Amino acid sequence: MKTQVASEAVFYWDQQHECMPRERLEQYQLEKLRAQLNHVHERSPFYRRKLDAAGIRPDDIRSMEDLRAIPLTDKEELRVSQAEHPPWGDFGCITPREAVRVFQTSGTTGRPVRIMISRKDWHETFYEQFMHYRCGFGLTEDDVLFVPFNYGLYIAWWGFQTTMEKAGLMIIPGGGLSSKDRLRAMLDWDATAICGTPSYLLYLAETARKNGIDLPVSRVRKVVTAGEPGAAILSTKKAMESQWGARVYDDLGSTEGGNFGHECVLQQGTHVIESMYIAEVVDPETLQPLQDGQNGELVLTNLCCDSMPLIRYRTRDLVRFNRIPCECGRTGLRLDGGVLGRSDDMFHFAGVNIFPTQIQNLLHEIDEFSQEYQVVVPRMGSGAHLRIRVEPANERISGDQLKKARDFLVEAVRYRITVTPEVEVCDIGALPRVEGKARRLIRET
């Protein structure tokens, strides 16, 4: 189905549900929810315990009000479950034998969470979700997608690429190349679309300028970004659009939560795939539901995934709901401005969400350094490394010991936080001491 809005064609993947009146949509969601609750009650010991303890019987959930009686799920509970029942925990609904893919979260707020995906979820559920994205972004079989990412445990563009190739786009695999070679391959093979984190795409644009490549005259007309809020931050989006000479679209998802939102060609907020998710917005402190238009934490219930579906999961993403139908014809929920930030103290770097406290936790393991530290986040797109400033614990530590400790910290950050930092060992007392909350984080602008 194709209609025309402004100069861009609008495509739907599942027009029936995307354009359904809310009342009917909610009835549909409640039906899916009851089936999902029965599924987790039967197959996930974790959810069986939680539902039984709250006295919830899946078939009794008849309204959105009833849904709110179901306990929330927090990422820490998933970590505890995996620590107690290694390596997968007991919250999932499949056995390793049923899984075809494994990934792990970036470990932003602690130990990474491992997830398994069944054949059905990988080839059908993810496909369905990313077909919503494909249609939302207006990508077609005529498009050639350049995918600059490396083979690894981070989910990043795996699902998107798998679906796009199934949908008939040509894929150019851009892993294992330098940024300059990626640009060359992208141009040589006539890519029309590219995906990446906003900071990497800005860096790539800067690399192009330095090498005399004029991106706006290239064939690239669509840029898909995920992993950081960039696409939804208007100034970042505008910078990317002018540097690439292309439209930039927001892609929302997480390793454990799946792929729940995409912009449409009109770029007026991020559409939530409500036929596959129930989204709620709550006050992150009181956990009470908020009104549309208020900023709060996004809580998601996965209605379609069979492998490790999460029920009323606290995403920690700050969002603002808008239920006014979009001009594209979709009647479902939009997130104004995509993800507005995180409900905890956190920063984004190289596609990874990082908390200063993660670095603090690592310093606790290194006797040669004091507990004073600063994290310097370079300007988005500068290509510079994250910098960590530390101090020796005392004057007796030798230069050799400091060098070893520094190398250890670089490796630990690389392994546990998945970014490679530069570590600067300052003189004792060089870092500022303040009363109360220290200024650990410095953002370069």
Q: For the CB of residue 337, give the shortest distance to Zn ion in the complex, in Å.
A: 14
Nearer CB in complex with Zn ion: 214/327? 327
**Among the candidate windows 71-79, 327-335, 339-347, 424-432, which touches Zn ion by CB under 5 A?**
327-335
Q: Quick check: 70 binds Zn ion (CB under 5 A)? A: no
Q: Which residues pair with 342 in a beta bridge?
A: 317
3-class SS letters over 330-376: CCCCEECCCCCEECCCCEEECCEEECHHHHHHHHCCCCCEEEEEEEE
Q: For the CB of residue 253, give the shortest distance to Zn ion in the complex, in Å.
A: 18
Q: Distance of CA 5 to CAs 53, 151, 264, 329, 427, Å? A: 50, 38, 11, 9, 61
Buried-exposed string 42-61: b where 16+ CB fall within 10 A, e elsewhere: ebbebbeebbeeeebebeeb
Report CA 188 to chain centroid distance, whole Å: 30
Q: Do 271 and 261 meet the contact criterion of CB atoms below 8 Å apart?
A: yes
Nearer CB in complex with Zn ion: 7/286? 7
Strand runs (DSSP E) across 25-128, as ranges? Answer: 99-104, 114-118
**Among the candidate windows 106-114, 172-180, 201-209, 319-327, which touches Zn ion by CB under 5 A?**
319-327
Q: For the CB of residue 58, give the shortest distance to Zn ion in the complex, in Å.
A: 33
Q: Quick check: 93 binds Zn ion (CB under 5 A)? A: no
Q: For the CB of residue 131, give the shortest distance to Zn ion in the complex, in Å.
A: 16
Q: For the CB of residue 325, give the shortest distance to Zn ion in the complex, in Å.
A: 9
- DSSP conformational letter for 70: S
Nearer CB in complex with Zn ion: 10/51? 10
**Among the candidate windows 86-94, 111-119, 264-272, 431-439, which touches Zn ion by CB under 5 A?**
264-272
**Among the candidate windows 12-20, 110-118, 185-193, 259-267, which touches Zn ion by CB under 5 A?**
259-267
**Among the candidate windows 68-76, 262-270, 349-357, 412-420, which touches Zn ion by CB under 5 A?**
262-270
User: Could you identify the residue written with the tokens 């040509």?
Assistant: 170
Nearer CB in complex with Zn ion: 266/426? 266
| Interface with Zn ion: number of residues (CB under 5 A) | 5
Which of 264, 271, 273, 262 has its CA nearest to residue 304?
A: 273
Among 40, 183, 326, 335, binds Zn ion (CB under 5 A): 326
Q: For the CB of residue 302, give the shortest distance to Zn ion in the complex, in Å.
A: 22
Nearer CB in complex with Zn ion: 134/330? 330
Q: For the CB of residue 298, give the shortest distance to Zn ion in the complex, in Å.
A: 18
Among 194, 248, 264, 388, binds Zn ion (CB under 5 A): 264
Q: Binders of Zn ion among 265-284, rule CB under 5 A?
A: 266
Q: Quick check: 328 binds Zn ion (CB under 5 A)? A: yes
Question: How buried is 346 (Cβ within 10 angstroms: 0-12 exposed, 13-18 middle, 19+ buried)?
Answer: middle
Question: What is the residue-wise DSSP string for 182-232?
Answer: HHHHHHHTT--EEEE-HHHHHHHHHHHHHTT--GGGSS--EEEE-SSGGGG
Round to whole Å and give the CA distance between 237 and 47. 40
Q: For the CB of residue 231, give the shortest distance to Zn ion in the complex, in Å.
A: 15
Question: Which tokens go with 333?
Answer: 């929920």
- Residues lying near Zn ion in the complex (CB under 5 A) are found at 264, 266, 326, 328, 330
